[in-house]
Amino acid sequence: MKDIHLPSDSCINGSVIRIFCPTSASVCVFDTGVGNTSFSVDDPNKNSTVNTAALTIDKWSNYNFWTGLTLAVLSAFLIGGSIILKKKALLRLASTGETRAAEGGHGYLKDWLWWGGLLTMGGGEVANFTAYMFAPATVVTPLGALSVLIRFLQTVPSPGTVEADPWRTWKWRNLSVSLVHSLLTGIWAVACVIQHPVMVHEIHSTYTPSAYMLVVVSSGYFIQDAADIIFSGYAKASWEFLLHHVMVIWCFLYAVFTHRFVAGAVVALFVEVNSVFLHTRLLLKLAKVAQNSFIYTINKLFNVVTYVTFRLGAQFYLTWYLIHHYSSLDHALYFLITIMLMNIMILIYFYRLLRTDFFSKGRSHNSGRKFAED
């Protein structure tokens, strides 16, 4: 692919640009009319014109879009964190024996943590509304869409086996959100590739509107999950997952901003098919389901099979693609370093998984302060 840069006076509304390719008999005509950019190919040999779908003007590289995207990311982080701060304030209030807010109590109004959560949410909402002034709603809205799900899951009662421990309670809710994200994006990613298989072979330049939306939605999840870990106070215990989230966020936001490597992000989301079983495994552990039970045994078998096929398979394919097309890809070095770090992480997690579920010999290897896998 070759980029052609034109002066601004050549791209005014209604202008027509002809691109002559000496090695072919085709002429490309771009009509940059208001709200529409058409594309046609004139073939002198056949004396005909073939019209294709309209092209969109490259508005993603301008200052406004970058500003809007930054505000949307900030909004997702603040809103995700505000939910956690307010929840912690209410739990702290309940632990002191005061009347709960749901029963008419107002003690939370004296808690600085609750007010911090309220102000954080206010800042997030302001950033969200401001983002709409600079970036399309198709980008801003999906980034914060999962905050609605997080708020809903905060109201769902946890099992009695986890309620007594604040960390286990948080972990249950965090995994519940992650499980819903995995169910949604795993199926969505596979559907995108089935709908448009060429994305697997052209991960740098090819994508569909559905694929782009998938990457935006998933970016919002990783941003809010990072906020959840940080504001809940478990950043130190879960540092490797914060590192993982940072790497994913930067890669996904690069795709959102530049519209490049969108297909690569979709292929990377194949790992979420495996994450369904990983998260289910940890939820079963939290619920104290016996490891020799039927449901746990079935889940661990699906877990290891999908780990190899969807997680390792997707990661290694992306690694091969980046190495094979290294010289022709933009910023290939950064992506290659990122994916190699992720490869190391998932191999370590795979070893932990096999050791715990298949070679544990009755010993528990599940740390009380760490996930076994994300």
Q: Residue 4's pLDDT is what?
A: 61
Domain assignment of residue 276, yes or no: yes
Highest mean pLDDT (candidates 44-53, 77-86, 239-248): 239-248
Q: Where does residue 240 rank: exposed (0-12), middle (13-18), buried (19+ CB within 10 A)?
A: middle
Looking at the structure, tell me whether residues 33 and 65 fall in a common domain.
no
CA nearest to 169, candidates 111, 102, 263, 84? 84
Residue 206 half-sphere exposure toward CB, CA atoms < 13 A: 12
Domain assignment of residue 28, yes or no: yes
Looking at the structure, tell me whether residues 51 and 67 fall in a common domain.
no
CA nearest to 78, candidates 180, 226, 181? 226
pLDDT at residue 179 is higher than 90: yes
> 282-287: long-range contacts (C-beta < 8 A, 24 or more apart)?
282/171, 282/175, 282/371, 282/372, 282/373, 283/172, 283/175, 283/176, 283/179, 285/366, 286/159, 286/161, 286/162, 286/168, 286/171, 286/172, 286/175, 287/159, 287/161, 287/162
Looking at the structure, tell me whether residues 50 and 89 fall in a common domain.
no
Q: Which residue has the tokens 């910023």?
A: 331
Is the whole model's pTM more than 0.85, yes or no? Answer: no
Give the least confident one: 182-186, 212-216, 230-234, 365-369: 365-369
Q: Residue 5's pLDDT is what?
A: 57
Domain assignment of residue 308, yes or no: yes
Looking at the structure, tell me whether residues 207 and 349 fall in a common domain.
yes
Looking at the structure, tell me whether residues 209 and 296 fall in a common domain.
yes
pLDDT bin (cut points 50, 70, 90) of residue 103 is low
Domain assignment of residue 143, yes or no: no
Looking at the structure, tell me whether residues 42 and 68 fall in a common domain.
no
Sheet holding 36-43, edge to edge: 16-20, 27-33, 36-43, 48-55
- Phi, psi for 220 (deg, rounded to 5): -60, -40
User: Residue 170 contacts by C-beta under 8 Å, 6 or more apart in sequence?
Assistant: 232, 234
- Phi, psi for 30 (deg, rounded to 5): -110, 125
How many whole angstroms separate alpha carbon 312 and alpha carbon 293?
27
pLDDT bin (cut points 50, 70, 90) of residue 100 is low
How many whole angstroms separate alpha carbon 102 and alpha carbon 99?
8
Looking at the structure, tell me whether residues 66 and 51 fall in a common domain.
no
Q: Residue 127's pLDDT is what?
A: 85
Asked whether 274 and 346 are in contact (CB, 8 A), the reply is no
Looking at the structure, tell me whether residues 43 and 70 fall in a common domain.
no
User: What average pLDDT score do residues 112-141 get?
Assistant: 81
Q: Output the six-digit token pair for 97.
A: 């024996």
Domain assignment of residue 146, yes or no: no
Alpha helices in the chain (DSSP H): 63-95, 112-131, 137-154, 160-163, 166-195, 209-231, 239-258, 262-268, 271-286, 294-306, 313-324, 332-357
| Residue range(s) defining the domain that contains residue 44 | 8-55
Identity of the residue numbered 293: S
Q: Residue 345's pLDDT is what?
A: 93
Domain assignment of residue 1, yes or no: no
Percent of the chain with pLDDT over 90: 36
Looking at the structure, tell me whether residues 239 and 294 fall in a common domain.
yes
How many domains does one find in the chain? 3
Please give the C-alpha separations between residue 268 and each of 15, 134, 272, in angstroms, as whole numbers: 39, 29, 8
Looking at the structure, tell me whether residues 44 and 193 fall in a common domain.
no
Looking at the structure, tell me whether residues 221 and 78 fall in a common domain.
no
How many whole angstroms separate alpha carbon 325 and alpha carbon 332?
9
Domain assignment of residue 365, yes or no: no
Looking at the structure, tell me whether residues 49 and 79 fall in a common domain.
no
Give the least confident one: 155-169, 226-240, 251-265, 312-326: 155-169
Q: Which residue has the tokens 């799900």?
A: 149
Domain assignment of residue 371, yes or no: no
